[in-house]
């Protein structure tokens, strides 16, 4: 007997004695209100129909259920709420089977855990990624996952936000069986019939302690995870809430655990961290929306060339190889190209050593890599990325060669952090094909890619660069041409603010500590030591002739560099790194240099609290960010936010500097800048855009929406 009924997104079909509940809410079957209503109605129908002996929940298309419906974010909640839907599934009087193919994430996995049995197909991906949005699983996930998987595995799944595959889920106890094939309906019906034939009954996850039965071991695991999380979470709100909820699963009856979970979930909803993380989530999806996309499709590219085999060239090469592209690397001589190839292989050898890659897989990737010392070998490539020394004349010489050898229509890109791309394009006969691709080091790991758009570039070259970013799984941000583009231009400004703080009385170590306390992984002086102090020193010398003589200039970093102390690579910079240590020690000789420079300038040192340090540091960042937006170097404030989250270690839960400023109140940020301007009117000149927004009672967010 077969009968059918449906809502628009949840279709019910009876196949013999099994009620097939099929979710159809493209593209990923997100748990919108209509899906929640349809699932609840399906359980009512199953219970009311004596002809139904089992219920099968499947997702149509490419996923089971990939989580909450992001279109509902920020809107008033609509009943039925997800915890009630999960509880209703679990309370069904007929065995309920969830068949997971593709993604079962967040609320989707909570639905599956509320079912009585779980079958996975090989392509299944399971996860509880709520922590990435400043939340916790809020529909029983923190209570059911530990019962199914045990405290350690369940808590690690929730704290990481990562996805696991079908076999890992089976080994962990999250699913009952993995079935080969790709048809969830056929596999699910076969499994449901097998269960019915064996007399399987309903099996509510809530009804048994399951993996929590050995409470002593579970408590030891949870205590260890709590200590580790407190150390690593750097002020994050939701990770410790997850730990608290798992503790409730250990200590309380299921119904009380659910109530506790709900209270913690609602506390996360109200947290400013959630607002920052949600902003970051959406902002990263907005940066690819660029004006050029309306005007032109990307050019085809399959074969690319990388000029330079140093750290940056090798990192870009690995990114390109990982994206499935064929890469020819050019270096100036046999010794240099051998070093370049070794730099590439070192990355893959590291993966092999960690058991994350096989020798065969490495060989297959390296088959697409061609080392060469002749530019003539790249005559037929579709796209070139130059990654040589950061010197304008050196780069111009490379681009003259590229102009000579590359085919018509090839995209010519320069990886530069600061230099004028218009000047580089001008040495070619095809400036319309020249673009900037500013990768961040290490290029095969860092997500940010600043796509720098010079004045004469063709729109389809810009869209090609964004397509390359997508293939490489980078987060692209469109930037205009100026010294330092978006990120390094703003960095130079807040680094100046840090230098002023240092000369005025805060030690470099106090400044770094305050910045880490705000949520950055490293402070500005640690970053200088990591990158190499000589790099900034060279930039300062390059700019010396054009520096405003009235501008305040702090010479402390120059004194340190004059001693040959360039940071980690020389075992001392602002910090000491004995025997090549990665973590620096405070250096009394650096503090003596600081004191001597203060004395030379007649500065009487005054103390600064961590809060005062951060008010100046952030005000400088936001003020320069506003100027970058106003000048069109960044399309929107959100592009500045994404640049800093993805490339500069800005704490994601604060949403980026412009979102942070909105959350503080732009009037407060402007008042700080105006107060600091009484000490130094040239440096602390308020951005006209910031003044305008405050006068109109508007936010940076209003400019994101208008763009």
Give the separation between CA 263 and CA 642, rounded to whole angstroms: 31
Distance CA 481, CA 470 (A): 22
In DSSP terms, which residues pair with 690 in a beta bridge? none
| Cα dist from 337 to 371, 396, 443, whole Å | 6, 21, 18
Tell me if residue 531 falls in helix, strand or coil: helix
In this structure, what token pair is assigned to residue 685? 């000149």
CA-based end-to-end distance of the chain: 56
Q: What is the largest CA-CA distance in the chain?
A: 94
Q: Which string of b and e fits 601-620 if b means at least 16 CB within 10 Å?
A: eeeeeeebebeebbbbbbbb
Phi first, then psi, for residue 45 (nearest 5°) are -65, -40
Give how far Cα 332 sits from Cα of 308, 395, 398, 416, 530, Å: 8, 13, 11, 19, 28
Q: Just list the catalytic residues.
A: 110, 130
Q: Which residue has the tokens 């590439």?
A: 344
Q: Which of 574, 596, 438, 565 is nearest to 512 (CA)?
A: 574
Q: Could you give the 3-state DSSP secondary structure of residue 288? A: coil
What are the E-state strand segments in 62-215? 96-100, 103-105, 117-120, 125-127, 163-165, 177-178
Contact, 599 vs 472, CB < 8 A?
Answer: no
Burial class (CB in 10 A: 0-12, 13-18, 19+), 677: middle
Angle at 294 between CA 633 and CA 647, to 5 degrees: 40
- Tell me if 537 sits within 8 A of 558, measured CB to CB: yes
Q: Could you tell me whether strands 163-165 and 125-127 are parallel, antiparallel, or unpaired per DSSP bridges?
A: antiparallel
Structure-token pair, residue 502: 């240092």
Q: How many CB atoms lie within 10 A of CB 180?
A: 7
Bridge partners (DSSP) of residue 119 are 99, 177
**Cross-strand pairs, 305:** 328, 384
Chain CA centroid to CA 474, Å:
9
| Those residues with Cβ within 8 angstroms of residue 454's Cβ, 6 or more apart along the chain or in another chain | 421, 422, 425, 431, 434, 435, 436, 481
Q: Is the peptide bond before 80 cis (omega within 30 degrees of 0)?
A: yes
CA-based torsion, 340, 346, 351, 355: positive or negative: positive
Q: Long-range CB contacts (< 8 A, 24+ apart) of 361-367?
A: 365/321, 365/322, 366/321
The angle that helices 254-269 and 82-90 make with each other, rounded to 10 degrees, is 160
- Beta-bridged to residue 165, according to DSSP, are 125
Count how many Cα atoms sit within 13 Å of the Cα of residue 195 in the half-sphere of its side chain. 27
Q: Are 618 and 640 in contact (CB under 8 A)?
A: no
Burial class (CB in 10 A: 0-12, 13-18, 19+), 255: exposed
**Which of left, alpha, beta for 98 (phi over 0: left; psi -120 to 50: alpha)?**
beta
Half-sphere exposure of 618 (CA within 13 A, CB side): 31
């Amino acid at each position: 007997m077969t009968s059918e009924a449906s809502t628009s997104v949840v279709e019910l079909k009876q196949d013999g004695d099994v009620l097939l509940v099929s979710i159809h809410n493209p593209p990923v079957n997100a748990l919108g209100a209509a899906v929640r209503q349809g699932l609840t109605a399906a359980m009512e129908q199953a219970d009311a129909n004596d002809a139904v002996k089992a219920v099968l929940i499947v997702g149509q298309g490419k996923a089971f259920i990939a989580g909450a419906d992001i279109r509902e974010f920020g809107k008033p909640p609509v009943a039925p709420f997800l915890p009630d839907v999960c509880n209703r599934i679990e309370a069904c009087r007929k065995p309920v089977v969830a068949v997971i193919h593709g993604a079962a994430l967040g609320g989707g996995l909570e639905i599956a855990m509320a079912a009585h049995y779980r079958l996975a197909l090989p392509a299944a991906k399971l996860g509880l990624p709520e922590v990435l949005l400043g939340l916790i699983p809020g529909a029983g996930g923190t209570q059911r996952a530990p019962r199914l998987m045990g405290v350690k595995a369940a808590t690690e799944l929730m704290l990481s936000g990562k996805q696991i595959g079908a076999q890992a889920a089976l080994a962990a106890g999250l699913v009952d069986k993995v079935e080969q094939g790709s048809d969830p309906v056929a596999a699910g019906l076969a499994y449901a019939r097998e269960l019915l034939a064996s007399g399987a009954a309903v099996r509510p996850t809530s009804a048994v302690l399951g993996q929590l039965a050995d409470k002593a071991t579970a408590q030891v695991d949870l205590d260890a995870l709590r200590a580790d999380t407190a150390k690593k979470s750097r002020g994050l709100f939701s990770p410790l809430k997850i730990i608290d909820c798992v503790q409730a699963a250990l200590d309380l009856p299921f119904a009380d655990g659910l109530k506790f979970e709900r209270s913690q979930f609602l506390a996360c909803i109200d947290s400013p961290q959630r607002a920052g993380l949600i902003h970051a989530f959406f902002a990263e999806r907005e940066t690819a929306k660029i004006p050029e996309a309306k005007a032109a499709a990307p050019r085809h590219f399959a074969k690319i060339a990388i000029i330079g085999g140093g750290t940056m060239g090798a990192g870009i090469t690995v990114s390109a190889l990982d994206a499935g592209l064929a890469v020819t690397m050019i270096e100036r001589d046999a010794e240099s190209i051998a070093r370049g190839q070794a730099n590439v292989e070192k990355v893959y050898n590291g993966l092999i050593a960690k058991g994350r890659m096989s020798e065969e897989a490495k060989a297959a990737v390296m088959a697409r890599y061609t080392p060469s010392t002749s530019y003539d070998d790249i005559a037929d490539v579709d796209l070139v990325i130059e990654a040589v020394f950061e010197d304008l004349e050196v780069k111009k010489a490379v681009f003259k060669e590229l102009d000579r050898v590359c085919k018509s229509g090839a995209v010519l890109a320069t990886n530069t952090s600061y230099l004028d791309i218009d000047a580089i394009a001008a040495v070619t006969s095809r400036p319309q094909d020249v673009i900037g691709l500013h990768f961040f080091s290490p290029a095969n790991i860092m997500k940010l890619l600043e796509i720098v758009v010079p004045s004469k570039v063709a729109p389809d070259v810009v869209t090609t660069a964004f397509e390359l970013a997508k293939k490489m799984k980078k987060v692209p941000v469109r930037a205009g041409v100026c010294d330092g583009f978006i990120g390094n231009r703003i960095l130079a400004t807040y680094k100046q603010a840090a230098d002023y703080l240092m000369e005025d009385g805060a030690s470099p170590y106090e400044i770094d500590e305050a910045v880490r306390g705000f949520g950055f992984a490293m402070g500005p002086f640690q970053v200088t030591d990591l990158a190499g102090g000589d790099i900034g020193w060279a930039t300062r010398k390059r700019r010396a002739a054009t520096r405003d003589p009235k501008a305040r200039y702090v010479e402390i970093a120059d004194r340190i560099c004059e001693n040959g102390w360039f940071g980690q690579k020389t075992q001392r910079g602002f910090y000491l790194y004995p025997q090549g240590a990665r973590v620096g020690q405070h250096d009394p000789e650096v503090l003596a240099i600081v004191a001597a420079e203060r004395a030379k300038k007649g500065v009487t040192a005054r103390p600064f609290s961590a809060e005062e340090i951060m008010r100046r540091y952030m005000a400088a960042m936001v003020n320069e960010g506003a100027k970058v937006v106003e000048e069109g170097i960044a399309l929107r404030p959100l592009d500045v936010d994404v640049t800093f989250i993805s490339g500069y270690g800005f704490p994601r839960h604060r949403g980026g500097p412009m979102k942070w400023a909105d959350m503080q109140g732009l009037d407060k940020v402007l008042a700080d800048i105006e107060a600091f301007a009484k000490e130094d009117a040239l440096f602390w000149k308020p951005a006209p855009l910031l003044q305008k927004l405050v006068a109109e009672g508007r936010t940076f967010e209003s400019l994101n929406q208008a763009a």
